[in-house]
Structure 1
Amino acid sequence: MDFHPTEEQAAAAGLAARIFGDLATHERLAAAGTGSDAELWKALTAAGLPAAVEDIGLLGLVLLLEEQGRSTAQVPFAATCAYGVLPVAAHGTVEQRARLLPALGTGEAVATGAFPNRGRITADRGPLAAATADTGRRTAQGGVRLTGTAPAVPWLREATHVLVPDADGGLWIVRTDAPGVRTAPVETTAPWSAGRLTLTAAEAEPLGAAGAYEAVLATARTAFAGLQAGVCAGSLARAVEYTGVREQFGRPLSTNQGVMLRAADAYMDTEAIRVTTYEAAWRVDEGLPAREHALTAAWWASEAGKRVVHAGQHLHGGMGADLEHPVHRHFLWGRQLDAYLGCGSELLAELGDALAQEG
């Protein structure tokens, strides 16, 4: 494995760092609430970053999401790329790629995913019409319709398209403005503009063949683990800055051994998330088996991520209890990512089953 980013990946990450650093300020984040920062999203799409993900791959996306996580920027960047750009590029038909990728790249379309598959959505395939030779799409009349609910879909209130797995593991693209599709806002731990998705015989178009669900889930877990690495790095950076200037008994808090050890543990946890995520992303980009590696990265993101954001808040002392303090956003994001796509115990059980099947 090569841990060094390509020239294109490094350039994209540097550009993302500048845009997030300039626009994802504490004041703008507070003003955005649970909505998306339209100006920041416009800047990212104008810079070509969502479109670039098709070329720089999952590892490149992880580098970009680290920068988003550092600032906890309020934009549907992770969801659009993990559930839109990469799945369509990897599993879409020629027609789907030509129709969807340009819109996702410019921000005209915003994607999210009703993941993971909890068996809440079923597909009524009915008397399917024959697929056309060039697109593979089924006609609306007599085609597949989805019914069910997904209780908390990230960035649903911003999305134009939702990638939906059914109870049998099939993947479907649903437009949020289609008949039979209803969305309602819900509150989650992190302010992700989330919503409840309700489908009632909603028309859907297929994406990919058998096995695409597992591939997309591994990609999403890896991408959101990269986001968690950034969240943790940002939380730790704030803690280091604060303890370096906050004095107690005439000396900075950072000179206390207990503070140094807590920060060192948080740093090692953050690096563990990063290195396992890089490995999983690299394997996906290289076309190598990556399910177990994605699960490993997701487990570290869940278990270690939770420890890091708690440490970041605790190292701020009384200031860490201030809900308006910037470090509290990292705490909220870290706790949301701790459970999203599977909490630590679920991921470990799934990893054990995967390893046993291989044995």
Structure 2
Amino acid sequence: MDFSPTEVQEALAALTRRILAGQVTPETLGPHGSGGFDARAWTQLAQAGVLDAALPAAVGGGGFGLLEQCSVLIEVGRAVAPVPYLSSVTQAASVLADLGRPELVERWLVPVSRGSAVLAVALGTGFTASAGRLSGTQTAVPYAAFADALLVESPGGVHLVERDAPGVTISAQETIDHADAGLVELDGAPAEPLGDLARVLRLRGAVGLCAQQLGVVEKALELTAAYTREREQFGHAIGAFQAVRQRLADAYLDVEAVRLTLWQAAWRLAEGLPADAEVATAKYWAAEAGHRVAHTAVHLHGGVGIDVEHPVHRYFVAAKRLEFTGGGATGQLLTLGGLLARDEPAAVNPTA
């Protein structure tokens, strides 16, 4: 397997980085724990053509796949940008595009590609379906506070629910880093059945989280390495001390572990190969390494590392949120253990 980025991936990443560097600033992010959706950055990404990644080429889209979307998500993580690319494009729009239903393309994919719509994904056991209507509750659904529609899992499959439909109540919630999440309450809300899509939504979501976490820890390590070259103690830059160098080296290895396992999982999923074990492995490293790198960044920055107004703190809280979203390190090990216990080929033979 060759994990070298293609020209398309490199171009998308460079374009996304340039846009977010100009749009996402401490002023646009707002105070710690506030905001959660930068509509201006979302619109700018749309105008540059970044958001049409999930649209089929037949309807004017770029026809990009999961690997290209991961390249974009890495840059979203590097900028800690409050944009719903993961839920709207990598999960919802990509799955809707695969269904090949023109009415869904026109109603939702085109508005997403233009930056005029946001889609959220609510996966879990909180909802039940009856006669084409959904009822139930789920808390902390990412970007639900700003969503125009949601893809909601129930025992009967995944359904599409519009925010303005009767019986839909969404209350904004604050998470560790932003205020983008929502408490979703459905009471007999009309829902359009889409089929058995929960597994693919879950796998794509996990890989997307890993990509975003890679961007977060990669940038956090860069900021920390730069700080240790400048900060002096006892007449020397603290980066000259052996203990500091060792922590930076360990953090580098952690970042590279996230990178390698992410691309392995993303490639297998994009190729339609069994990827459950690879996705769980990547999410384990995103959680475990994310935890360690985040704490290394804060510790080596000293007192300023715990200042909520300092840039490094944004990377700390972003890494912590991504660590636990979709299940932390222990949950991923339990998943891997279950696959091994069942002797699943995807778990015991990476080339199966």
Same structural fold, with TM-score higher than 0.5 when normalized by the shorter chain:
yes
Distance 1:101 1:310 in 2: 39
Tell me which residue corresponds to 1:311: 296
TM-score by length of 1: 0.89
Distance 1:330 1:218 in 2: 24
Tell me which residue corresponds to 1:164: 152
Distance 1:7 1:171 in 2: 35
1:21–1:71 Cα contact (<8 Å) kept: yes
Tell me which residue corresponds to 1:151: 139
Counterpart mapping for 1:44-123 below 5 A: 44-54=45-55, 55-115=63-123, 117=124, 119-123=125-129
Distance 1:179 1:2 in 2: 49
Q: Which of residues 317, 322, 344 in structure 2 aligns to 1:332?
A: 317
What code does the residue aligned with 1:79 have? S
Using the TM superposition, name which of 50-59 and 29-38 deviates more. 29-38
CA shift for structure 1 position 330: 0.7
Counterpart mapping for 1:187-206 below 5 A: 187-206=174-193
Counterpart mapping for 1:225-236 below 5 A: 225-236=210-221
Q: Does 1:272 align with 2:260?
A: no
Identity of aligned residues (%): 40
User: Alpha carbons of 1:53 and 1:349: their partners in 2 closer, same or farther (altered >3 Å)?
Assistant: same
2:269–2:275 Cα contact (<8 Å) kept: yes
CA shift for structure 1 position 31: 5.9
CA shift for structure 1 position 92: 5.0
What code does the residue aligned with 2:92 have? G
Q: Which runs of 5+ in 2 are unaligned?
A: 56-62, 345-352
1:20–1:71 Cα contact (<8 Å) kept: yes
Tell me which residue corresponds to 2:284: 299
Q: What is the root-mean-square deviation of aligned Cα atoms in Å?
A: 1.6
TM-score by length of 2: 0.91
Number of aligned residue pairs: give it. 336
Q: Which runs of 5+ in 1 are unaligned?
A: 127-143
State the secondary structure of the residue aligned to 1:207.
Answer: strand
1:228–1:334 Cα contact (<8 Å) kept: yes
1:92–1:207 Cα contact (<8 Å) kept: no
Q: Does 1:24 align with 2:9?
A: no
State the secondary structure of the residue aligned to 2:171.
Answer: strand
Distance 2:189 2:216 in 1: 36
1:236–1:312 Cα contact (<8 Å) kept: yes
Distance 1:271 1:90 in 2: 32
